[in-house]
Amino acid sequence: MRKFQRFPPFNLPTATLERGEAKYFHGREKILGNFKRLMDRAVQAKAGTTVMIQAAPGAGKTALLTECARLARARRWQIAEIDPDGLYNPAELSSALRLPLPPKRQEATKGGNLQFLHGTSTSEYHLPGSLDILKAGREPLLLLMDEAQRLMTTIPPSPHQYFTNATKFLNAIHNGKIEDRPVILLAAGLGATAQAFKRLEISRFDPDCKINLGMLKKEATRAVLRDWIEKDGRAKGDMDPWIDVIAEATHGWPQHIMTYVWAALRQLEAADGKMTSEGLKTVMEEGRKGRTGFYEARVEEFESQELRCIARAVADVKPGERIRKEDIVDSLLHEFSRDKVEEVFILALHKGVLDKWKNDYVIPIPSMHEWLVANYARI
């Protein structure tokens, strides 16, 4: 079995423009409007819920989490970023909420390290339970979890105590059972996120609380490009020709937008802000190379034959259209055992090659669909 990567917390510094907070945030108005109303209702009812954002890599999940946190902070909510460990480990939750350890901590330590972190059972651990920690506060609380698909692989299955702790914790938040305190868990992850929550016994979400994040609209795409090119690139002259061509190439996909933005900024710096047709050709060439590099990184854990089977299954499907799981499975079964096929399918969800769409699946990035078919379906 493959071991899936354990991603770092989303607030770590990054040297790239493809991940993290969006310097210029546009679009997602409906999602943000719904989130504002959800916060208002949570305060009125003194109870919260869970919001799940599911999307492929590069769709802007982290940027959206950051924007929601900004809105919550403006309403004087407490903000805390948690990993899956925070759902079952009171020490991790206390740390995320910046709470001091209680006086009894000395009884639960060995050599200065918490016993819990070395595998002791929760019955030997003297911190209050995670729910007790939440109930001790009164101010509205927003818990942020990025890369939430990790819930599938980091929490042991039932009947492990961690599983029991996590399900109780999630159930209390999801159903608004934290007494007299509004608590919202905002979790964002890849295509396996819904499956991860279902495994932890959370399967029903209000319509506004289950978000499948897709491409930006054309107006938002153009607004993001204009901000970068004008403000950071200090472009001189008419920006529309560049914006039109780049916007068409990105299909509104935030990661692609930033790949082309990075190329545009380099070109504008070299040309002292002048926007020429030759300069645009350079930007488009570099942008395409960056986009291809992104796809190659997403599939590097696959065997070539696995990719060929997936590509052949989707070769006659138009980019963005739904794909039946049976068609992908049947293609893989020609080469692999059923256990191996299931492993490949889960990996495709974890890496964002596939995404759940209603009762079927989709390759969520249209240009990645085209790249996969062009490079593997005909081999």
* Partners of 362 in beta bridges: 355
Digit-coded pLDDT (tens) for 326-348: 999 999 999 999 999 999 998 99
Instruction: Enumerate the domain spans of the chain.
Output: 29-212, 218-298, 304-377
Alpha-helical (H) ranges within the chain are: 29-45, 61-74, 90-96, 130-135, 151-154, 161-174, 193-199, 218-227, 240-250, 254-270, 277-298, 304-314, 325-333, 338-350, 366-372
Same topology for domains 29-212 and 304-377, yes or no? Answer: no
The predicted structure's pLDDT at residue 20: 66
Identify the band that residue 21 occupies on the pLDDT scale cut at 50, 70 and 90.
confident
Identify the band that residue 103 occupies on the pLDDT scale cut at 50, 70 and 90.
low
- Which residue in 39, 28, 96 sits closest to 67, CA to CA? 28
Q: What is the mean pLDDT of the chain?
A: 86
Q: Which CATH code is given to the segment(s) 304-377?
A: 1.10.10.10
- Look up residue 190 and give its DSSP letter: S
DSSP 359-374: TEEE-SSHHHHHHHII
Residues 6+ apart with CB under 8 A from 150: 4, 6, 7, 83, 84, 189, 196
Q: Which CATH code is given to the segment(s) 29-212?
A: 3.40.50.300
Q: How many CB atoms lie within 10 A of CB 90?
A: 25
Q: Which residues of 312-337 are buried (b: 16+ CB within 10 A; e: fewer)?
A: bbbeebebeeebeeebbbebbeeebe
pTM of the model: 0.81
Kindly tell me if the per-residue pLDDT of 319 is higher than 50: yes
**Highest mean pLDDT, choosing among 53-62, 111-120, 223-232:** 223-232
Digit-coded pLDDT (tens) for 117-153: 334 444 443 446 888 889 888 899 999 999 998 998 8
Q: How many CB atoms lie within 10 A of CB 204?
A: 10
User: Which segment of 2-6, 42-46, 244-248 scores lowest on mean pLDDT?
Assistant: 2-6
What's the rounded Cα separation, in Å, for the pair 28 and 32?
6
